[in-house]
Amino acid sequence: MPHEEHEETEVVVVGAGQAGVAMSEHLGAHGIPHTVLERHRIAERWRSERWDSLVANGPAWHDRFPGLEFAGLAPDAFASKEQVADYFVAYAEKIGAPVRSGVEVTSVRKHTGRPGFRVETSQGTIDARFVVAATGAFQRPVIPPVVPDGAVPTQIHSSAYRNPGQLPEGAVLVVGAGSSGVQIADELRRSGRRVLLSVGPHDRPPRAYRGRDFCWWLGVLGIWDAQTPPRGAEHVTIAVSGARGGHTVDFRDLAAAGIELVGLTASHDDGVLRFAPDLAENIASGDAKYLEFLRAADAYVERNGLDLPEEPEAHVLGPDPDCVTSPRLELDLAEAGVTSIVWATGFASDYGWLDVDAFDENGRPDQQRGVSVEPGVYFLGLPWLSRRGSSFIWGVWHDARYVADHIARQRGYLAYAPTDRKH
């Protein structure tokens, strides 16, 4: 049989989004040979799986890597999705990242009887000593199986939403009150649509308070570095917006603008949607967290003697709108003229290609700070990988440094050869 040639490298990094580019920088700094494989283009999800008007939820001074600022963007401005994608392309070029675009990884398996992994791709095979799964947590759009196909003309996930003109004429129900759902509902209402917004449990921090962006407050209050989420809050929905220069999300304002708030979307039966009677509770809980945040910020200012302007009006919340005090519990979709449902209900990870023993009984990566229980396999870009900031642009950069340091140490062990002590 003819000998089959295989490409070899030390590290294969799967994915060239923010996690993969950060990983490449730190591996390069260690002088570790590696290849970054990306099935589309660098930071492709920012370009083609987000709505047209999306901007980053953090200001440009914060949502970036240490080694490069956003070109032509004021520090307190919010980068558009195209600017974010262009930033990572420029960063990859700046560091000389060995990215191969258009290469899909179809499987990763352990070698038998020797270290390392066989990486099967759409363009051949690569043998690697280490594999970094840098695909992140936002792989597979999740749409709860509530409303059957055909019940309304259009049902799409927020990752497929682009702009109001894409949807058929008529009212829209947006399900999910995190950053995506709130911003999409607001844009649809401003376009003249009737909009209903289904609000579940959420956090809603102030966009800014006492002259500082909430990203700054999360930093000085130590919240970014929290290593474990509050109990039951592993996947907290956070409603924050950089749209139109950035503003605090207040569901009262959305209701005043004409958006009808409803509770959690619970069930569908014969054209009628039913909502959980939890709207007031969800709004009140979000308010409580918001006010707790303001009090923590005030205490920090006082404790440190900072000269930041007081903002007492931020603590004053208006009355709940009628749609909260007398919530709608069911909706006849046809009668209400609802022709579209946009599901802003998040994503699931997808590691179907990673055929190694690196997952717990629930199918989640079994890892500590990105170091998998499967020696040689690493994860990057996941929420709470090491801290609250792990799935954010700057946070993933620091996680990547830790993972690269770990790989460098492992290479040192593998390269160790005892000296011959016989004389």
Domain ranges of the chain: 7-139+349-415, 144-343
Cα separation, 391 vs 56, in Å, equals 13
Q: How far apart are the first and last CA of the chain?
A: 46
Supply the DSSP symbol for 166.
G
Cα separation, 364 vs 282, in Å, equals 28
Is the C-alpha dihedral spanning 65, 66, 69, 74 positive or negative?
positive
The residue to which tokens 């929905």 are assigned: 237
Q: What is the model's pLDDT at position 232?
A: 56
Q: Contact, 386 vs 401, CB < 8 A?
A: no
Taking Cα atoms as reference points, which of 319, 193, 199, 320 lies closest to residue 258?
193
Structure tokens at 153: 């003309």
Residue 371 burial (CB < 10 Å; 0-12/13-18/19+)? middle
User: Can you name the residues that pair with 110 across neighbouring β-strands?
Assistant: 117
Q: Contact, 282 vs 201, CB < 8 A?
A: yes
Give the amino acid at 104.
E
Instruction: Compute and round to an integer the Cα radius of gyration of the chain.
Output: 24
Q: How many CB atoms lie within 10 A of CB 233?
A: 12
Give the amino acid at 301.
V
Q: What is the model's pLDDT at position 230?
A: 63
Q: What is the model's pLDDT at position 5?
A: 46
Residues in the chain: 423
Cα separation, 337 vs 339, in Å, equals 6
The correct answer on CATH 3.50.50.60 for the domain covering 144-343 is yes
Cα separation, 40 vs 16, in Å, equals 9
Q: Which helix (H) or strand (E) holds 198?
A: strand 195-198
> For the domain 7-139+349-415, what is the CATH superfamily, name and number?
FAD/NAD(P)-binding domain (3.50.50.60)
Q: What is the phi-psi region of residue 191: left when phi exceeds 0, alpha when psi lies from -120 to 50, beta otherwise?
A: alpha
Sequence-ordered list of residues with C-beta below 8 angstroms from that of 80, at least 6 positions apart, any chain = 54, 55, 56
Reading the chain (423 residues) residue by residue, the pLDDT tens digits are 444 447 999 999 999 999 999 999 999 999 999 999 999 999 998 998 888 999 999 999 999 999 999 999 999 999 999 999 999 999 999 999 999 999 999 999 999 999 999 999 999 999 999 999 999 877 789 999 999 999 999 999 999 999 999 999 999 999 999 999 999 999 999 999 999 999 999 999 999 999 999 999 999 999 898 887 665 555 568 888 888 888 999 999 999 999 999 999 999 999 999 999 999 999 999 999 999 999 999 999 999 999 999 999 999 999 999 999 999 999 999 999 999 999 999 888 889 999 999 999 988 999 999 999 999 999 999 988 998 889 889 999 999 999 999 999 999 998 888 876 655
Q: Contact, 64 vs 56, CB < 8 A?
A: no
Per CATH, 7-139+349-415 and 144-343 having the same topology is answered yes
Q: What is the model's pLDDT at position 380?
A: 96
Measured in whole angstroms, the distance separating CA 215 from the mean position of its chain's CA atoms is 15
Q: Contact, 255 vs 321, CB < 8 A?
A: yes
Q: Contact, 85 vs 38, CB < 8 A?
A: no
Q: What is the model's pLDDT at position 311?
A: 97
Cα separation, 77 vs 61, in Å, equals 8
Q: Which helix (H) or strand (E) holds 133?
A: strand 124-133
Q: How many CB atoms lie within 10 A of CB 24?
A: 28
Structure tokens at 233: 């809050």
Q: What is the model's pLDDT at position 243?
A: 87
Cα separation, 214 vs 287, in Å, equals 16
Per residue in 322-334, is it b (16+ CB within 10 Å) or e — as a string? ebbeebbeebebe
Q: What is the model's pLDDT at position 372?
A: 97
Q: What is the model's pLDDT at position 129?
A: 97
